[in-house]
Structure 1
Amino acid sequence: MKRTLRTTLLTTGALIAALAVPATAAPAVDADVRVDLRVLVVSDGGPATDAIAAELDAAGTPYAEIDLTRTDRPVIDAAYLADTVDGRERAKFQAVVLPNDNPFPAGSPEMAALAAYERTYDIPQVDAYTYARPEAGLQYPVYGGYSGSVDGVRAQVTDAGRAGPFGYLDGPVPFEDNSPAVGESYAYLSTPAAGADFTPYVEATIPGTTKRGSLVGEYRHDGRRELVVTFVYNRYQQQFRLLARGIVAWLTDGVHLGTSRNYFAVHVDDVFAADDRWNSTLNCTPGDVDCTDPNATPDPIRMLPADVDRALAWQRERGFTLDFAYNGAGSVDHREDHDGADPLADKLIAERAGFRWINHTYTHAFLGCQQNTTVVPWRCATNADGSVRWVSRYDVSDEIAHNAVWGRAAGLPLDDDELVTGEHSGLRVLPQQPADNPNLALALADNGVTWLASDNSREPGQRQIGPATTVPRHPMNIFYNAGRAAEQVDEYNWIYTGRAQGGSGICEDHPDTTTCLPGPLDPATGYADHIVPLERQIALGHVLANDPKPHFIHQSNLAEDRIAYPVLDGVLGTYDTLFAANTPVVNLRMKDIGTELQRRTAWRTAVRGGQVTAYRVGTTVTVDGPDGVAVPATMPEGTTRAGSAFGEAYAGGRSGWTAAAQAPLTLTLPAPATSATAPATGGPAPATGPAPHARVPEGVAEPLSPGAGS
């Protein structure tokens, strides 16, 4: 939707006067009016407004939030919403988000102020979750509609939705149904009220009928525009994640600071090496420091040349590139034990251009403290004075440099500034090693490493280690010590069942663990029926959440039963059924992911510190921020900067980062083709009181862990 700016002068005084004068059509808006690129979120503490605020925050879109439950909150009036800056009339917010179509008491001057503001400056309003009623452009559900659970429903984007804010979707909008015992989604399905100018964007079939009822639609009335959402959600649910981009696009008319992509990257660790296999009798992994049984014999899992062929074929089928984190000693040791032969290494080196490569250290040694493995769990060895005995700077540096030299000799296309240490070692690991190895930063500097992988489950934020910035990686629950599905299920059962069921008891000791099982999975079917759907949903949730962090698995998962592929296929295959070709998965290498995360941190700091000023006047957008801070922005197709196309095409718009310059950033929007605020054709009168209480089921009020049933 493009905002149309016309040439009738309106002042703040005119806004005040408009509070008492109902309008039936959108007034003309002066092309000289300044509209700040900031969203006003009015929250009642519910999950729906919280979800929209989280979406804005993740993208880097500035917003101000008013919590209606606080007695010390600002009062929403004409002065709060608009003023004059340097002689120019200013609308302080480009859009408004309300908990429902009218969260205020009957006759509220605050709702009147908002309505007048929206009417005067053509400001769109999102009703985050509202009851279907004539005041929102819809019939009451009792008149042929529906009120109730929509768990498992497959909604559809309408033609108008695809032509408008949801043009990035190309399939159903499936609603989650993770647990039959918990209500997760609730909705009011209804059709437009008689005479209402209402356009459904997302619909679902009304149970017991062939009619479709609106879940998301645009209601135009009294010179105002509302996006009416009649289902409840939280920020994590797939249905919201699919629609969030379109809600923000509608809310901002496609013009806002911040940017969003759907990212997916997969690191495969331990390439060239072998991973020790889980022993289902001992319930440990022979070769690991905590598997102390004297009869425990390591049973290594290692890829074969045929597994390389499968990986290459899979990449071609999916249009996706895997990142191989390699250990050169794995090949050297294999040749020593096999009369100089290593068919796997020969194949990987011959096909080296087909993958991205990351230094994973030469032998995969533990690079933190020197481990005392005479006790379980291990602990850090100490010197005579009680101080920690650290792996030396020389040994850490040698692990990095030796592997890099081996890789270059093999012709691997390396970026020497990237590193994944074995087990993310060298970094702090609780509880045994609460501090980083002080020699790690020195060794990173010795080798020019500026991007260092970390474990997102331990450290979700980036931090600096000497010259290097960490890149948190999501661990996938596909175990490094499993090459076959039955092994994966056996270990999964051991970890996530209770002691009475023969399990580890971790769920009894830590009841907040989200993957606990009510009983052991069937070894023959548990992987396909439970683990694959669960891991697919978790990873897809990251993809849909504008989260660029890479996921990591191990080379063992591409060998034998090749158990990684069902999960990866589930993520990418599901994605392909949901999204249009204009919204591809973005597959970055590690250093580019690190740069993206680093830019976001700097931008959020600037926005939260009040250091960014951004506004629109007519077709000109101006952004002024701190020197050295890159600016993320999302604009319509046709937007230019200094005569050249701005950003990159994605999801039907143009978006990207623009390096900060000393002068403010200026963008030129395309001229609007038509008015965005045609008068309504009639319909119900404006709302005079708050929307009726809308039901929030348990699975929304309290985010439900994803499960295999989805």
Structure 2
Amino acid sequence: MGHGRRTVATLVAAVLMTLALPAAVAGAAEAAPRVDLRVLVVDDGGPAVEAVRTELETAGTPYTRVDLGDSARPRVDQAFLSDTVDGRARARYQGVVLPNDNPFGTGSPEMAALADYEKRFGIRQLDAYTYARPAVGLNTGWSGTLDGTAAQVTAAGATGPFGYLRKNVPFENNDRNVGESYGHLATPLDRQADGATFTPYVEAPVPGTGRPGSLIGQYTHDGRSELVVTFVYNHYQTQFRLLARGMVEWLTQGVHLGAARNYFALHVDDVFASDDRWDSQLNCTPGDVDCPPGSPENDPIRMTPADAQYARQWSRDHGLTLDLAFNGGGSESYKDAHAGSDPLAAQLLADQNAYRWINHTYNHPFLGCVQDTSVVPWRCATDAQGNVRWTGRAQITAQIEDNRAWAARNRLASDKEELVTGEHSGLRTLPQQPTDNPELAPALTQTGVTWLGSDTSREYDQRTLGPSLTVPRYPMNVFYNAGKAAEQVDEYNWIYTRKADGGSGLCESSANTTCLPGPLARDTGYTDYIVPLESRIALGHALANDPRPHFIHQSNLAEERIGYKPVEKLLADYRALFADSTPLVNLRMRDIGAELHRRTAWAAAVKDGKVTAHRIGDRVTVQAPAGVEAVATLPTGTLQLHGTSASVPFGGAYAGARSGWAAPAAGETEVALLLPGTTPSARDRAGRAARVQAPAPALPVPPGVSRRVPYGPGDTVRR
């Protein structure tokens, strides 16, 4: 391995970070146990366990799932939970997720084995959703709907696993006609069993009393620790998104494979060009393919120098760097019509260092099949033999290279490996174009493009096209053809209201679209409805450990500058929820693509069983296939070891921990990490023999948890 070996005595004597040594091996005469960095998930098919499992999978944290509904499942006994490796006791799982505090049944030997295992190795247990009752250290308390509840992190939670939050934990209430949250609020028992304690981490007021009741708390008893969660949730809901990080950190005691961060990047397309304008009389966009040929065009929408100055100041004031996807030909066309002058380009070029720049082709043509726009909707044109006619390689290449040349002439620095084609054209576009333009990949090869923007509403996952990896982007539902709020509302009503209400009725024929209950008010609909909705959808993506960028258009930064509003709300809401240690991560396009690529490789290695990781004392060792970087979250102060003496700080600081990717040092085959030391051993808090309580009865789950409640129209790609 190329690493110096510590003596057993040194390993045992170390005071270790939050991993409780078992009483049976805490003495210096015996070796510290090996604890594999893998979580055991006992699954009853309910939404709460599914939410935790999804959180682990998204972060890249290995887990083993035991399906309680599978008659052929393995039995949870001592042989399943632990063994011996190289003469050293091994715990196969570093944490245990259960549907409730005892899902196996009264007198179950499986629960008894699990309790003994947890005590022996200092392993923690997460009760994903259970009743408040004495068996978990709580009074029986109050039960009911929690929709719209304003929960709060306690002082103990803030100094413990939820310190990355400011304080507030709002519960969703998307539809007043659907129950979305249910839970139990109770105070800890006045008199706990001998040696037992209950520490609330997240509380909410008990209705009718004004007293706080626990929603999440730590129940320590009989030498074991349980995180008792007394409300039900799914992995889409904001309350879970806010609390999931702390639940996993508590469960794994701050040492685990996988990582989660909150991301937000905003691309602005069509910069230097102009965008067609929605026509409220025709209910289409003259100049675009959704209007019949010959429809009279409205004034196009284009930013002004004042809009550019505003964008620079806005970006500075809000701490968010915008990514501008530019069409140099748009500036040249403007110059041709205005005596060779383009003040907008002059202003943006003068301020270019305030932004990041992405090639969006020279003048934004459609680069897929040749479009036949004699019909609405358009179709792919064909030749005399019925073959699809494609935009040629030379035209695609020219659009990429001409835009680069324009940037070079204007001394605009952009990444030559990044590209977003107009309308993501060239990539498959359903229903008209079910395959990629076969000329696109060769053009990307010829021009050296390695990162290609795509649309999550068409294809959510990253894929390879020639030399390029796609970077899926979330479209914000602020339309490219709207520079004013009234235009946005008019088009929104047309798309999302029923025919009986004067709309197109498209929402009635689509299984993935929600209809508005009635048309939005022209004067207030944007501010009162669309802005909060789009902000919540985007915030949901940010809280889902999803680095995919969002995109709007330059038209949304012109005229009434409506594109800023949902982003401003998102940023304000985020700052109110998260501590300064947990900022939104704002990556450029290539870095987002690289992050997605690393995750894909890591997930495949984990799924194929090619990743192993364990902890012995203060040492963590990770092995993965050659070329696959490892990802982990570890305590502040963790070092990555190189050889016998050299070391560097691991990862980067985020949410009170260190997280990031790591590869073995040159000549080594594994990642070796050294943890800082803290916390007492299990011997100091062993307590009496572990007891097994009777299982909780069946728990209620409202419809809005078993089947998620959409935020509203446009919420179709919520992940």
Q: Which residue of 2 aligns with 1:563?
A: 562
**C-alpha displacement at 1:644, in angstroms?**
1.8
- In the aligned structure 2, how far is the partner of 1:319 from the partner of 1:676? 45
Alignment match, 1:152: 148
| 1:522 corresponds to | 521
CA deviations 1:464-506 (Å, max 9, x no partner) are 1111000000011000000001100000000011112221111
**Structure 1: which amino acid aligns with 2:633?**
T
Letter in 1 for 2:458: R
1:663 to 656, 669, 686: 669
Q: What is the Cα deviation at residue 277 of structure 1? A: 0.4
Return the alpha-carbon distance in structure 1 between the equivalents of residues 30 and 166 of structure 2. 38
1:694 to 693, 699, 702: 699
What secondary structure sits across from 2:329 in the alignment? helix
**Residue range with higher mean Cα deviation, 459-468 or 595-604:** 459-468
Secondary structure of 1:297 counterpart: coil
Secondary structure in 1 aligned to 2:518?
Answer: coil
Q: Is the 8 A contact 2:17 2:675 kept in 1?
A: no
Q: TM-score, normalised by structure 1?
A: 0.94
Distance 1:380 1:660, change over 3 A: farther
Counterpart of 1:97?
Answer: 97
Shift of 1:507: 1.6
Residue aligning to 1:548: 547
Percent of pairs identical after alignment? 60
Residue matched to 1:644: 648
One-letter amino acid matched to 1:125: Q
- Once residues 297 and 667 of structure 1 are traced to their aligned partners in structure 2, the CA distance between those partners, rounded to angstroms, is 63
Contact 2:199 2:219 in 1 (8 A): yes
* Structure 2 SS opposite 1:199: strand
Check whether the contact 1:205–1:213 (CA below 8 A) recurs between aligned residues.
yes
Aligned counterparts, 1:122-271, within 5 A: 122-141=122-141, 146-196=142-192, 197-271=197-271
Q: Deviations for 1:488-531, whole angstroms, at most 9, x for unmatched residues?
A: 000000001111222111122114313x2111111111111111
* Aligned counterparts of 1:356 and 1:132: Cα–Cα separation in 2: 51
Range moving further from structure 2, 85-94 or 673-682: 673-682
Contact 1:5 1:31 in 2 (8 A): no
> Are the structure 2 counterparts of residues 30 and 5 from structure 1 closer, same or farther at C-alpha, using a change threshold of 3 Å?
farther
Q: Distance in 1 between matches of 2:56 and 2:39?
A: 9
Alignment of structure 1 residues 162-561 onto 2, 5 Å = 162-196=158-192, 197-292=197-292, 294-514=294-514, 516-561=515-560
Please report the TM-score for the alignment, with normalisation by the length of structure 2: 0.93
Aligned-pair distance for 1:85?
Answer: 1.8
Structure 1 distance, partners of 2:652, 2:173, is: 36
Q: Is the Cα–Cα contact under 8 Å of residues 397 and 444 in structure 1 kept in the other structure? A: yes
Q: Structure 2 CA distance, aligned partners of 1:697 and 1:420? A: 43
Q: Give the AA of the match of 1:90.
A: R
- Report the AA paired with residue 702 of structure 1: R
Q: After superposition, what is the alpha-carbon deviation per residue over 1:437-460, rounded to whole angstroms, capped at 9, x for unaligned?
A: 111111111111000000011011
Q: Which residue in 2 is equivalent to 1:13?
A: none
The residue number in structure 2 matching 1:16 is none
**2:67 is equivalent to residue 70 of structure 1:** no
Aligned to 2:657: 653
- Matched position secondary structure for 2:348: helix
> 1:371, 1:5 → 2: CA distance?
66
Distance 2:675 2:709 in 1: 41
SS in 2 for 1:438: coil
CA distance in 2, matches of 1:149, 1:7: 40
The answer for unaligned runs of 5 or more in structure 2 is 1-15, 642-646
State whether structure 2 residue 61 is matched by structure 1 residue 61.
Answer: yes
Secondary structure at 2:580 match in 1: coil
User: Quick one: distance in 2 between partners of 1:630 and 1:579?
Assistant: 29
Task: Give me the whole-angstrom Cα distance separating, in 2, the residues matched to 1:7 and 1:492.
Answer: 61
- For the 8 Å contact 1:27–1:223, the answer to whether it is kept is no
Kindly provide the amino acid, as one letter, of the partner of residue 156 in structure 2.
A
Report the CA distance between 1:676 and its aligned residue.
Answer: 6.6
Deviations 1:416-463 (A, max 9, x none): 000000000011111111111111111111111000000011011111
Shift of 1:169: 0.4
Give the CA deviation at 1:674: 3.3
Aligned equivalents of 2:370 and 2:21: distance in 1?
Answer: 72
Q: Which amino acid aligns with 1:169?
A: L
The SS at the match of 2:315 is helix
* More deviation, 493-502/325-334: 493-502
Q: Deviations over 1:211-254 (max 9, x none)?
A: 11100000000000000000110000000000000000000000
Distance 2:539 2:358 in 1: 24
Unaligned residue ranges in structure 1 (runs of 5+): 11-25
Cα offset, 1:198, TM superposition: 0.4
